[in-house]
Amino acid sequence: MSSPLSRRHFFASLSAFGVASGPFADALFAQTQGGQTGRVTPEMVREACRLAGLSYSDAEQQGMVASLNRILVRADELHKAPPANDAPSPILFSPRVPGIPVSIPVREHRPGTAARQTRPAALDDLAFWSIPQLADLVRRRVVTSVELTEMYLRRLEQHNPVLNCVVNLTRERALTEAREMDRESAAGRYRGLLHGIPYGVKDIIAAKGTPTTWGAEPFKDRVIDEDAEVVRRLSAAGAVLVAKLTTGEFAFGDQWFGGRTNNPWLPSEGSSGSSAGSGAATAAGLVGFSLGSDTGGSILSPAVRCGVVGLRPTFGRVSRRGVMAAGWTLDKIGPICRTVEDCAIVLHAIAGPDGYDLAVAGDMPYAWDARESPKGRKVGVVQGILDLETDPAVRAGNDRAVAALAAAGIEMRPIEPPQSDITYFIEYIERAAGFEGVVHSGEDAGLRAQRVRNDLRAYHLVTAVDYLQANRERLRLMDEYARATRDVDVVISGPVTLNGATSLNPITSLTGHPSIAVPTGFRENGTPTGFTLTGRLYDEAGLMVVAREIESATGLGGRRPGRSVSP
């Protein structure tokens, strides 16, 4: 027998031989009543066993025929009406490991206070300001939310032809929300730091009144007429939605039905994915901040490529209600911003249970204290992981990051976490289940990327047994990772998946730990380099306290992309 992770879905493999198409209850009834042969024949079983890597004698294969025909009755019923992509599963994943307690420091939420800001002569100069800086102007009514919104809408229209990062503007909604925020400001009501701040969301996140396309041609006009939970929460915090930003088809890469989304620092290069538009728009100063999603690196990778800060929260920190499911035991929603503290502020607005996404923990509060010191923290380093990088500019950026941590009084400790290649195996099986209706209806024929179509179809052929066994292996890896990192607060996780170097990103995505990407420098061609760190479960704040030291030391906040997007 082959290993469990290499076998193919036994019953679905029968469809390749014409077995699993169309209703067959009548044929089965005739077989059971009159001894007629059912839809599955011994020859089909023999071929399916060969495909699945199963070794049975002819007699054993013959004995499976009747069982398979009975099982296919149930399978056919399921295939007639596959669950919608957003249908939740009662089988819940938790990143917690049995026997290993999870604890986080008790914090009071105290974001930093920006110095008193002066209105610039040209509003476009605000395009790259941080949330606290913008918030100071809005709170004091030195700049109105409508002015900010119109400025960002203008920049989105102006620079999108080069960056290709916008699917749809939400102009009418944005101006309505901005006017309301200005009315509230005039009446003395202030909702907090996000009051009147314009933002964009990755276009797998539903927003009422505008298409949610998932980056796919077949759905370019499809409207999910409700707000995702994260959009609802940001609206409640006073933020103003200005755009649905691009994602690769079904959240694969940076290629969508409108083409490729480009890196503001070098538009001849893609922005990476799949939160492609969120990374590009934030880096180019087209939004105050943005939201992305991350299943296996889709926040971290475009953040590194575009030179911004991307936070992948702990699995179960943020509700995914109203968001396309790529892998329901892996998906996380998180902010892409220009600073670490901006990410901390946005996460505070969107974190917490909603009673719908049952994976969201209700006993792990989140707060950010801007005055918290990183001194005394311990950072784990995998021996040799940074030495595997071959790009001199990236290596130089890594050295700057490590030096910044050491200068902050942070202790470095060697660790040996496990490595695994089952992350994407689990993810793609869950994708196949989530998009079963698209595959069965033939709508996947409208996808542009052949690889996406092939993957969605191929992973239907993995057995349910293999999926369950992979998740049991997952728990073993979670336990090993927890034990390997129990004496450190943060882990240097290396690159995302860039340059072919080894990375801890796949394993930490699998375990559900929070990770953050921060810029570290630039290459000779002007493109950014970045660094990723991983924190303890549910301790995003502690992770960001450490990441902020790298941000402060590198001093990259003032750098902006070239003339194509600068004011």
For residue 90, is it within any domain?
no
Share of the chain above pLDDT 90, in %: 72
Do 399 and 490 have their domain in common? yes
What band does 563 get if pLDDT is binned at 50, 70 and 90? low
Is 27 a residue whose pLDDT tops 60? no
pLDDT at position 357: 96
Question: Domain tally for the chain?
Answer: 2
3-state secondary structure labels for all residues of 321-384: CCECCCCCCCCEEEEEECCHHHHHHHHHHHEECCCCCCCCCCCCCCCCECCCCCCCCEEEEECC
Which residues have a Cβ under 8 Å from the Cβ of 563 and sit 6 or more positions away? none
Asked whether residue 15 is assigned to any structural domain, the reply reads yes
Q: How far apart are CA 298 and CA 328, in angstroms?
A: 15
For residue 157, being part of any structural domain is answered with yes
DSSP class per residue in 35-93: ----S--HHHHHHHHHHHT----HHHHHHHHHHHHHHHHHHHHHHHSPPPTT---SS--
Q: Are residues 181 and 73 in the same domain?
A: no
Query: Within this chain, do residues 221 and 276 fall inside the same structural domain, yes or no?
Result: yes
- Could you tell me if residue 180 is inside a domain? yes
397 with 532, same domain: the answer is: yes
Give the Cα separation of 379 and 226 in Å (integer).
42
Same domain, 412 and 550: yes
| Euclidean distance between CA atoms 474 and 422, whole angstroms | 8
pLDDT tens-digit profile of 195-238? 999 999 999 999 999 999 999 999 999 999 999 999 999 999 99
Measured distance CA(214)–CA(95) in Å, rounded: 27
- pLDDT exceeds 80 at position 558: no
Q: 549 lies in a domain? A: yes
Residue type for position 40? V
3-class SS of residue 243:
strand
Reported in sequence order, the residue ranges of 351-482 that DSSP labels E, i.e. its strands, are: 378-382, 411-415
- Within 10 Å of residue 18's Cβ, how many Cβ atoms? 10
Q: What is the pTM of this model?
A: 0.91
What pLDDT sits at residue 496? Answer: 59
How far is it, in rounded angstroms, from Cα 95 to Cα 492? 19
**Whether the Cβ atoms of residue 322 and residue 206 lie closer than 8 Å to each other:** yes
In a domain, 334, yes or no: yes
The two three-digit tokens of residue 93, written as one number: 């994943």
Other residues' Cβ atoms within 10 Å of the Cβ of residue 30: 14
Q: What mean pLDDT, rounded, does the chain reach? A: 89
The 10s digit of each residue's pLDDT in 433-484 is 999 999 888 888 888 888 888 988 889 888 888 899 999 999 999 999 999 9
Residue range 292-346, pLDDT digits in tens:
999 999 999 999 999 999 999 999 999 999 999 999 999 999 999 999 999 999 9
DSSP string of 254-301? SEETTEE-EETTEEEEE--SSSHHHHHHHHTTSSSEEEEEESSSTTHH
What CATH number is associated with residue 133? 3.90.1300.10
Report the alpha-carbon distance of residue 357 to residue 254 in Å, rounded. Answer: 27
Q: Does residue 26 sit in the same domain as residue 140?
A: no
Residue 386 has a pLDDT of 85
Residues 75 and 138 in one domain: no
Q: Which domain holds residue 499?
A: 127-421+466-554
The catalytic residue positions are 202, 274, 298
When pLDDT is averaged across residues 525-553 and rounded to a whole number, the result is 96
Of residues 13 and 146, the one with the higher pLDDT is 146
Confidence of residue 557 (pLDDT cuts 50, 70, 90): low
Q: What is the pLDDT of residues 233-262, one digit of tens each?
A: 999 999 999 999 999 999 999 999 999 999
Residue 332 · residue 527 · CB < 8 Å: no
Please indicate, yes or no, whether residues 367 and 497 belong to a single structural domain of this protein.
yes
In the predicted structure, residue 425 carries a pLDDT above the cut 70:
yes
Residue 378 sits in the same domain as residue 270:
yes
Is the confidence at residue 22, as pLDDT, over 80?
no
Instruction: Look at 11-25, 252-266, 362-376, 545-559 and tell me which has the smallest mean pLDDT.
Output: 11-25
Phi first, then psi: what are they for 85, rounded to 5°? -55, -35
**Are 219 and 212 spatial neighbours (Cβ–Cβ below 8 Å)?**
yes
In this structure, of 9-23, 173-187, 219-233, 444-458, the range with the lowest mean pLDDT score is: 9-23
CA proximity to 203, closest of 220, 188, 187: 220
One domain, residues 139 and 51: no
Structure confidence at residue 80 (pLDDT)? 84
Q: Is the pLDDT of residue 30 over 60?
A: no
Q: Please tell me whether residues 150 and 27 are part of one structural domain.
A: no
Check: CB of residue 119 under 8 Å from CB of residue 142.
Answer: yes
Does one domain contain both 161 and 55?
Answer: no
Report how far residue 387's alpha carbon sits from residue 404's, in angstroms, rounded to the nearest whole number: 18
- By three-state DSSP, how is residue 137 classified? helix
Distance separating alpha carbons of residues 456 and 206, to the nearest angstrom: 22
